Amino acid sequence: MAKNNNHKKPTATVVFIFGGSGDLNQRKLTPALYNLFIDEFMPDNFAIIGTGRTDYSDEKFRGHLLQGIKEFSRRKDDKNATWESFQQHISYLRMDADKPEDYNGIAKIIEDREKAWGEHPNVLFYLAVAPQLVPDIATNLKKLKLCKDKNNTRIVVEKPFGHDLQSAKELNSLLTGLFEENQIYRIDHYLGKETVQNILALRFANALFEPIWNCNYIDHVQITAAETVGVEDRGGYYEQAGALRDMVQNHILQVLCMIAMEAPVSFEANEIRNKKSDVLNAIRKINKHEVQKYAVRGQYGSGWMQGKKEKAYREEKGVNPESSTDTFAAVKFYIDNWRWQGVPFYVRTGKHLMEKTTLITIQFKEAPKYAFPTEASETWRANRLTISIQPEMDIRLRFQAKRPGQTMSLNPVDMVFSYNDNYDEPQPEAYETLLLDAMMGNATQFMRGDQVEIAWEVVAPILETWESRPPVDFPNYAPGSWGPEDAEALIARDGRTWVTLPPKKDRKES
Ligand code: BG6
């Protein structure tokens, strides 16, 4: 068990999970809270209340959550004794989110807790619900007296945050009309990933990288977020989303901000968020007439993947058989500021691709070869820093080395830092980090309203163009491939190629 030696615990907290009986709570939220409990990050006084319309007794609800822990938690082998004491903090409140009178139950629970604990608790309302329910719930919550407590009452809103710029603006204006910005936690789980957080350490805790982290030395940047799964049972949601909305507008642009932002002067929430907003603001808006030049969409057809026959997207449950929804998106962005002038950022994401991998590549410019004999430079490669976010968690720096022998012959080698080889402690899941931050009132790794809106502005020309011009070639990639051919062309036109990790068997020593 990892001991909590240097971390403050939140003070007494009540967490309400709207959508308590849903998937997100069973797979992610309760397992995360349970791991925080095991690692001694939960306060002495805390309560977790699931709310929803399903009729659960406390006991049945706890059983449902335990099932989730057994199936989905990173720790499956914990002693029953830990669960026994954890579950006493969990209860269920049956309520109709659209009935204002049902919210009295919430007020009552908080009053009771306050009396029993003798202290005023933090209250976290976690909205793990369909986006259309958010406005009603937020409006009803606001009527509770406790929501006026700006310092201790917070609302966590899951993605998707809006469907486009207009709806995101409306949602922001509704939420900021009800709560202060510092009470609103817009979650993007990528920001809680250990390897994503490490980007700040890599860039700003080392003197090595920052001086060359700019357009003078960097040729281009790539971000790949590839998944092997298809849309699974989320066809209904995905039809309204597509890859660009589901992954690029949020996760990928947030990661891009971490790579491209200026050095912060502190880790204070608004300082970090200002620096990220600067990046988003500097991303060149793609002209609608040029979308084809900068963006590629794809949709998977049917085919064989790892020995299994996979359905085409259009055959998935909840999907229109003539759907134009993108299950793959690749975009070339430019950031118009001094640091990044002229450096393309290529990003791509998709379902049913060859490998599950999230990978960032910083490709440096080539060093001049003049001093070396021609044959020495046959395998000349530019330096490259590859940051694997998942499932591998490593950073590899590629540089040229001399092959042993009497001739000057070079070849590229990797210097590898791997989390697993360096640390024994297990990595916390993103939701553990983010829930703890939300309980502590630290919004650094959450998105501010303006960031979400600018991110929508960035993708808007692509979304609008795609919507107005239905694709003629869908489905255009096979499951198990790296997406449509046009995505290769997008980068090949610039004389570059997408980077993947070396084959698994060669990874350590490549
Ligand atoms: C979610 C998307 O936000 O992120 C999913 O809605 C996607 O479609 C998921 O599968 C990917 O998250 P991760 O952590 O598995 O990379």
Ligand 1, pocket residues at CB < 6 Å? 159, 227, 246, 358
- The ligand 1 atom at the shortest distance from the C-alpha of residue 430 is 14
Residue nearest to atom 8 of ligand 1 (CA): 246
CA distance 200 to 188: 17
| 64 counts as catalytic | no
- pLDDT for residue 144: 85
Residue 457 among known ligand-binding residues: no
CA distance 31 to 52: 19
The alpha carbon of 214 and the centre of ligand 1 are apart by a number of angstroms equal to: 30
Q: Residue 327 above 70 pLDDT?
A: yes
pLDDT tens, 15-71?
999 999 999 999 999 999 999 999 999 999 999 999 999 999 999 999 999 999 999
- Residue 256: which H helix or E strand, with range? helix 253-260
Residue 70 among known ligand-binding residues: no
Residue 193 among known ligand-binding residues: yes
The alpha carbon of 227 and the centre of ligand 1 are apart by a number of angstroms equal to: 8
Q: Residue 3 above 60 pLDDT?
A: no
Q: How big, in percent rounded to 5, are the helix, strand and coil portions of the chain?
A: 40, 20, 40
CA distance 273 to 206: 21
Residue nearest to atom 2 of ligand 1 (CA): 246
DSSP state, residue 353 = B
Residue 352 among known ligand-binding residues: no
172-181, 271-280, 373-382: which has the minimum mean pLDDT?
A: 373-382
- pLDDT for residue 502: 75
- pLDDT for residue 81: 80
Q: Which residues contact 490 (CB under 8 A, 6 or more apart)?
A: 294, 295, 296, 330, 332, 346
- pLDDT for residue 2: 45
Residue 246 among known ligand-binding residues: yes
Question: What mean pLDDT comes out for the span 151-159?
Answer: 94
- pLDDT for residue 501: 82
Q: Residue 510 above 60 pLDDT?
A: no
Q: Residues 202, 387: contact at Cβ < 8 Å? A: yes
- The ligand 1 atom at the shortest distance from the C-alpha of residue 225 is 16
Residue nearest to atom 9 of ligand 1 (CA): 247
Residue nearest to atom 13 of ligand 1 (CA): 190
- Residue 104: which H helix or E strand, with range? helix 104-117
Q: Residue 506 above 90 pLDDT?
A: no
DSSP string, 410-460: EEEEEEEEEHHHH--SPPPPHHHHHHHHHHHT--TTSB-HHHHHHHHHHHH
Report the share of the chain in percent with pLDDT over 70.
Answer: 97
- pLDDT for residue 6: 60
pLDDT tens, 420-448?
899 988 889 999 999 999 999 999 999 99
Report the share of the chain in percent with pLDDT over 90.
Answer: 85
- pLDDT for residue 505: 63
Q: Which residues contact 378 (CB under 8 A, 6 or more apart)?
A: none
Q: Residue 333 above 70 pLDDT?
A: yes
Candidates 233, 240, 246, 393: which one to mutate for ligand 1, based on the most atoms within 8 Å of Cβ? Answer: 246
- The ligand 1 atom at the shortest distance from the C-alpha of residue 231 is 8
CA distance 14 to 50: 11
Active-site entry in 64, 220, 251, 352: 251
DSSP string, 290-352: GHHHHEEEE-B--EEETTEEE--GGGSTT--TT----SEEEEEEEB-STTTTT-EEEEEEESS
The alpha carbon of 389 and the centre of ligand 1 are apart by a number of angstroms equal to: 13
- pLDDT for residue 79: 66
Can you say how many angstroms the Cα of residue 177 is from the centroid of all Cα atoms in its chain?
27
> How far from each other are the two terminal CA atoms of the chain, in whole angstroms?
34
77-81, 234-238, 376-380: which has the minimum mean pLDDT?
A: 77-81
All domains in the chain, ordered by first residue: 13-158 (3.40.50.720), 192-506 (3.30.360.10)
CA distance 13 to 114: 10
The alpha carbon of 350 and the centre of ligand 1 are apart by a number of angstroms equal to: 10
- pLDDT for residue 1: 42
Q: Is 212 helix (H, G, I), strand (E, B) or coil?
A: helix
Question: What mean pLDDT comes out for the span 223-242?
Answer: 96
pLDDT tens, 386-422?
999 999 999 999 999 998 988 888 889 999 999 989 9
Structure tokens at 180: 């202060």
The alpha carbon of 405 and the centre of ligand 1 are apart by a number of angstroms equal to: 48
Residue 53 among known ligand-binding residues: yes
The alpha carbon of 422 and the centre of ligand 1 are apart by a number of angstroms equal to: 27
pLDDT tens, 475-501?
999 999 999 999 999 999 999 999 998
Q: Which residues contact 367 (CB under 8 A, 6 or more apart)?
A: 382, 383, 400
- The ligand 1 atom at the shortest distance from the C-alpha of residue 238 is 8
For residue 135, give the amino acid letter: P
Mean pLDDT of the chain: 93
pLDDT range class, residue 88, cuts 50, 70, 90: very high
Candidates 188, 189, 389: which one to mutate for ligand 1, based on the most atoms within 8 Å of Cβ? Answer: 189
CA distances in angstroms from 142 to 15, 27, 130, listed in the order given = 16, 28, 19
Question: What mean pLDDT comes out for the span 97-109?
Answer: 93
Q: Residue 102 above 90 pLDDT?
A: yes
- pLDDT for residue 508: 54
